[in-house]
A and B are shown apart, each in its own frame.
Chain A
Amino acid sequence: MSMLEAAHEHDIELEGKDEMSSSGACEGSLACSTCHVIVMDVDYYNKLEDPTDEENDMLDLAFGLTETSRLGCQVIASPELDGMRLAIPSATRNFAVDGYVPKPH
């Protein structure tokens, strides 16, 4: 199962996830970045398979993107990942209009 589904199983609030659905806004179809997670340890990040072009396209637009960011719906649990820690991006960003770098749409 993906990290997104795992979060739902453990009743953890993962952004973009609604109580009733076990996936993000686009329900796992790589059409949004609301399930964005940050892999805390680079060793675990490196164990993951590289993101596809499609995932990278969505990561481009993710809020609070980091060097070890992935989409939760694309990270599949495996024994190899035992102990991996994930963080959810902070929502404390300033949205001032002046000086704000517009994101494309």
Chain B
Amino acid sequence: MTAMAIFRSRTWLSRSFSSLSSHPLRVCVVGSGPAGMYTAEKMLKAHQGAEVDIIDRLPTPFGLVRSGVAPDHPETKIVTNQFSRVAQNDRCSFFGKVTLGSSISLSELRNLYDVVVLAYGAESDRALGIPGEDLSGIYSAREFVWWYNGHPDCRNLSPDLKNTDTAVILGQGNVALDVARILLRPTEELATTDIACHALAALEQSSIRFLPLQSLALNQRSCLKSVICCAKRMSYYYRKVYLVGRRGPAQAACTAKELREILGTKKVQIHIKEEDLHKSPEDEEELKNSRIRKRVYELLSKAATTGPSLPSSGQRELHFVFFRKPDSFSESAEYPGHVSGVHLEKTGLKGVGSGKQIAVGSGQFEDIECGMVLKSVGYKSVPVPSLPFDHKNGVVPNAGGRVISDTSGDPELIEQGLYVCGWLKRGPTGIIGTNLHCAEETVASILHDLEHGLIASPSTSTKPGREGLLQLLDDRNVRAVPFSGWEKIDCEERKLGSLKGKPRVKLGSWEDLLKVAM
């Protein structure tokens, strides 16, 4: 075995606390996604007296790892093994089906625990604020992802994938690429993933595979049966998906792995206009300074110059549309109340200093016809009563994870014992691993505050912690789902999955989840 020295170049305050008092430090983490779980893990490691309770409004833990990561990305979900070990720690308890703001208020939590860490992410969406946004057939990517991932809140989304052969996705980040890929992948490939059954069925029946009945002339309908047989044999697909970005390929928000993957999707023709690849000096500068952007640009450039083969009938198409921002949505005359297209304004880029360029409308417009729109322009956090909130940025104002009161004019007032981690702290960006470092920062702040007497000392604290929570929930007839309840759900899902050659079959309704868990 080769000898080597490993240099640890970060200070780890925890070392000084490993022999601290064995008085319990009562910690409550709200949210059991990556931010909450990494926070719980680091808190337990750093303080031997810490007792960590994790609450989540769902009966299932792990947040977006379960409900956001695409079904065809199972490796990305492996981290739940690590998170499970945290929840199973002697000093940790999971309480599912407990909702901050309705089962229990923030003030009540702060009275029960020495430390409260809010890590409940972002469960809403940035709105475009343009006409027609309320038409049916327009969904946020978040809702669509929850739908195909079996989240109980979107069980009945029922997107209509049969009335149209074209979907427009607004945004070009990794979430946009995920939804495009799920729409375009051969459903045989999706059938062996943990995609929700209702979503797989809808994708299988969508007008990707069959010509819509109305588009056939009467005499053709009579030989429809033979046409369908033909279509199936020829893998006859008509789906078109547009990924629309306001800016250019040098600014596309996706990353190389996801882009490489979607460009390699079987039986999909990629359309990228070569003229969109033109780089300005400002673009060159941006690319020079960012390894991520440079590799993404190179992938897009290669795909554009390779170009689609001569259009063969029946190929699905993926179009990368650049320099277009949505102006309004058109309503269908045939199906009132339903979207029929997106009205787009062509844009140009303008530098706004520090290497950043924004999209500016040019006054020229064009339309893309479609029957479904997925908005993938960013998630947004939801405030709760008595929580300071920065509505402009959609985050909780904080300093290194310590929550700051938002009373204007005052000096920075720290809310004692209240912290944030994850998207609620930083905004809805980053990957699972980003929360690891985010949690380190928040936990370091907590430990620092503990050391300096800024949090009630555990030896003098009278906070009841877990006992208090259990009492309060009992008084309100709220039955929390313990981690063992999730384990029952997990076991059942995997059992159902093994019967169908899938890793699991998700229990997609509140009723089914609770029936198994309790």
- Asked if B291 is an interface residue, CB under 8 A from chain A, the answer is yes
Chain A interface size, as a band, is: 35 or more
Interface contact A91-B433, CB-CB below 8 Å: no
Q: Per-residue 0/1 for A27-61: is the Cβ within 8 Å of any B Cβ (1 yes, 0 no)?
A: 10111111000001000000000000110111011
Q: Is the CB of A32 within 8 A of B427?
A: no
Question: Which of B8-16, B345-353, B363-371 makes up part of the contact surface?
Answer: B8-16
Q: Which of B72-80, B157-165, B200-208 makes up part of the contact surface?
A: B72-80
Contact B4 A83 (CB under 8 A): yes
Cβ contact within 8 Å between B393 and A88: no
Chain A hits for B257, CB < 8 A: 54, 57-58, 60
Q: A21-B81, A26-B79, A104-B174 are in contact. Are A88 and B436 (CB under 8 A)?
A: no
Q: Which residues of A contact B395 (CB under 8 A)?
A: 97
Which of A18, A29, A65, A77 touches B2 (beta carbons < 8 Å)? A77
Chain A contacts for B173, CB-based, 8 A: 104-105
Task: Say yes or no: is B387 at the interface (Cβ < 8 Å to chain A).
Answer: no
Given A31-B76, A88-B10, A104-B174, A79 and B433 contact (CB-CB distance below 8 Å): no
Q: Across the interface, do A61 and B2 meet the contact criterion of CB distance under 8 Å?
A: no
Q: Which of B410-448 contact A (CB under 8 A)?
A: 425-434, 436-438, 440-441
Minimum Cβ distance to chain A for residue B487 (Å)? 17
- Size of interface on B: residues with Cβ below 8 Å to A: 52
- Does the CB pair B11–A92 fall under 8 Å? yes
Contacts A56-B295, A63-B434, A78-B2; A20 near B85 (Cβ below 8 A): yes
Partner of B425, one of A18, A57, A85, A95: A95
Answer whether A25 and B75 are a contact pair too, CB < 8 Å, given A57-B257, A97-B393: no
- In the complex, the chain B residue whose C-beta lies closest to that of A13 is B8
- A residues less than 8 Å from B9 (CB atoms): 87-90
Residues B432 and A32 in contact, CB atoms below 8 Å apart: yes
**Separation of A7 and B169 alpha carbons in the complex (Å):** 44
A29 CA / B85 CA spacing, docked (Å): 19
Q: Given A27-B78, A31-B76, A57-B255, are A92 and B10 neighbors across the interface (CB < 8 Å)?
A: yes
**In the bound complex, do residue A29 and residue B426 qualify as a contact, i.e. CB atoms below 8 Å apart?**
no
B292 at the interface (CB under 8 A from A): yes
A60 near B2: Cβ-Cβ < 8 Å: no
| A105: B residues at CB distance < 8 A | 173-175, 428-431, 434
Does residue B7 face the partner (Cβ distance < 8 Å to A)? yes
The residues of B that contact A88 with a CB separation of less than 8 Å are 6-10
A37 to B243, CA, bound (A): 35
Q: Which A residue sits closest to B444, measured CB to CB? A: A91
Residues of B within 8 Å of A79, CB to CB, are 2
Closest A residue, CB atoms, query B261: A57
Residues of A within 8 A of B8 (CB): 13, 87-88
Rounded to whole angstroms, the CA-CA distance of A91 and B354 in the bound complex is 25
Chain B residue at smallest Cβ distance from A44: B4
Asked if B277 CB lies within 8 Å of chain A CBs, one says no
Closest chain B residue, CB of each to CB of A85: B5
Asked if B256 is an interface residue, CB under 8 A from chain A, the answer is yes
- Rounded to whole angstroms, the CA-CA distance of A35 and B264 in the bound complex is 27
5 further A-B contacts with Cβ under 8 Å, apart from A18-B82, A29-B75, A103-B434, are: A32-B79, A82-B2, A87-B7, A100-B427, A102-B430
Q: 8 A-B Cβ contacts within 8 A?
A: A25-B436, A32-B79, A58-B257, A95-B437, A95-B438, A104-B173, A104-B174, A105-B434
**A residues with CB within 8 A of B:** 6-7, 9, 12-16, 18, 20-21, 25-27, 29-34, 40, 53-54, 56-58, 60-61, 63, 65, 77-79, 81-93, 95, 97, 100, 102-105
What 7 A-B pairs are tightest by C-beta distance, nearest first?
A: A102-B429, A31-B75, A57-B257, A29-B75, A25-B79, A91-B10, A87-B7
